[in-house]
Structure 1
Amino acid sequence: MHRLTRRPLLTARRVWRRALRRHGSENGVVAAMLAVLLSTGVFFGTGALVIDVAQLSLERTELQSSADAASWAVAMRCVRNAADCTMAAQSTVAQTYTTKNIKRGSADSQICLTGVTGQTCSTWSSTTACPATTVTGGKSVEVRTSTKLSSGSTLLPPTFAGTLSGTTYTGTRVGACGRVAWGPPAISKVFALGISLCDWQRMTNNGSTYYGPLVGLLGQLGLFPFLGLPAPTAAAESAIAQVLPAAVLGLPLPSCTTPTVNLSKPRGWTWLYDNSLNPPDANCELSLNIGDEPRGFVLSGLAAGAACRNRLQTLYTTRQPILVPIFDQIEQTLLSLAPTYRIAGFAPFVVTGYDTLIPGVLQSVANLLSPGGVPSLLEKALCTISSCIYGYFTRTVVPIDNPVFGTGSDFGATVIGRTG
């Protein structure tokens, strides 16, 4: 028989002594390792490298903020005023936003406008490009920012790493890119109220002046300059006479701007139907594209269905902007009562009133609830022999994540989004 022997239990004092002996040995190893690191400069070199990497990361972050802000600012200026959408004019804007977003107050920028007539992009001085995008169509601006010190150097110098390592490293040029695209939206359906390009040009001063529902408040507070918008005028609201039979028969009519004879530019409004003369849907909407040629009755007010009359009344009550087709040509045969209207684009329009020559076809509404002023003598004369639509064209700029652009001219409806 073997006897079981018992090992004496460790007392608290023995456990404590063993712990002291173990830690003492580890302290010696750590001290030795620290001495090696300090003597070879590895410890300080690693810390210096961390500092310089963080400095490069901060530089890249500030340059990206600059590129994003500059590209958005240039795009919005191009939307507001196409005449100023040139690289010569907007390069200064981009440089201003770039400089203000860099903490040290100095950096370089370069822009390129795509899809803008007359603009040719030069060779990039920075190799940092925007990522590829699947967005097609529209117009876009790309802004590239890069390191530039107040001394003129394009290299961000190291703070510690170059000196401690003993190399000839003198710095790195950091860059970033921002790209924003804008253009007319892709349209599926629009309100079936066609308005002439001539009237759009007359009421918007050829696209330079838009009336808006906040005119009174913003005008009193002086906020239009603050928002970077031109102050719309009440004269932008107007009466639009219905397309008259004389116009579609090729007889002279007053032009949109003067009482002189002008047959080259059709004027007025009409209800539109498809090529088979099918009426609009239950919302008084049609599927149209740029270049389509829907038809319209000469006596369109008489032919308008209940859906269009009800929708028009709703739009008048709510003052809701609605996209309407803009036509630039009327094509017809002699004595045709259903000519075709060529679609040039789509514009946001707000109905503020309507009346009719034929009682009972449309509800007669006095144009008294909006500050548009009274119609001109020419408008009064036309409205006595034809029904009139009262309203104004406005501008809508809608930011979206993945913009989808249509074709044709921009008549005040714009979508805008970042694509890089």
Structure 2
Amino acid sequence: MNIIQDIFKEFDNRREELEISLEEMRQEIAVYKDKLLLYGAGSAGIAFLYFLRRIGLEPRFFLDADRSKEGKECEGVKIITPDRVVEIAGEDALVIVCINTDGKRYCKSFDEALRIGGHHAVYDKLREAGCKNIIDYTFFRRCHEFFQKEKYNAPSCSDVGLMIKHKNEIADVYEWLSDEQSKDVFEKILRFRLLDDTLEIPTMTQEQQYFEYGFYERRTDDIFVDCGAFNGISFKTFLSENNNQFEKYYGLEPDCVNWNKFMKYKEQLPEEIQKKMYCIRKAAWENNEGIRFYSLHGPGSFAADIGKENVETISIDAMLNGQRASYIKMNIEGSEKQALKGAEETVRKYKPRLAVAGYHRTEDFWKIPLMMKTYREDYKIYLRSYMNHISFVYYGV
């Protein structure tokens, strides 16, 4: 029996003390029935909203510090600014902070969680506005039933039942990891999700994210495929790390606001670099059929059936049309598995270095490395965390 199986066995033995029932959770927040507010009209807030709706609870408002959102609606829920909470909902409203956080939220009771607090800047702002009852949405991860069958991205709260169902694959991935630090990170993420969310995950500086050159050598002929180009930030790091030396760059970004920022960044680059850039306003996907897309016009835009627009998609295999890629990076808000599927031919033929986010959906934790190994059995798999348990990347080398 390996260490992963031991963790699952410990979870089985301690499950009664670790888990609260759905009914317990409902009772804790049902007293705020008409005064339930969600802070953060972003991807985590949207995911939590749909978890609530599934059990028959509806928040009265979204709160968001971005004043450009005031008066608008997010999924049918009106958005107000925090300074209006007491005026509209009263000081005794319950505000659930829906921001993905690496903070520690392990509390044994609802009262304790309300007392301890969370995001300092957000909590301070809400308390200054007169709010008395504030809690992080991560407190509710103790209710495993609530987070079953996740539909949208809530990386701070895992589907524990799904992990139990796939514990053998999780154990296999642990054995494949190529160094002790990867194994340590993997083990602690699993313990964090199942046993103890006060654990510190060994964390690297975010400046190194996607470009861990300790695993492989720099090269001047890189063909870099950047899935989730955002505003050009990853390409900027790539250029800095490689002294502007590369053969070709493909940048894919479907969000229109992010795309415009990306184009402004491109226009500022030297002409000799721009000539080697191929920028594509499409989402990386498994096919070219298009998807529904939820644009947040910043970080976090994601593919979803509740998306307000259709965006074009392209598979990496179709985009390259048999040509080489040497480096593929993916951080695309839960679409990594589909994009990897669309790159299967390229990965099998050219074995590019891979840097793929593994945290947006619960099953990404084991499915991303499983897909890497399925496509190229000779890949070495590494894992590094960049924000405790909620931002980690698998590297295939």
Same fold judged by TM-score > 0.5?
no
Q: Which has the higher contact order (CA 8 A, sep 6+)?
A: 1
Name the structure where helix makes up a greater proportion of residues.
2
TM-score scaled by length of structure 1: 0.22
Structure 1 or 2, whichever has the larger Rg, is 1
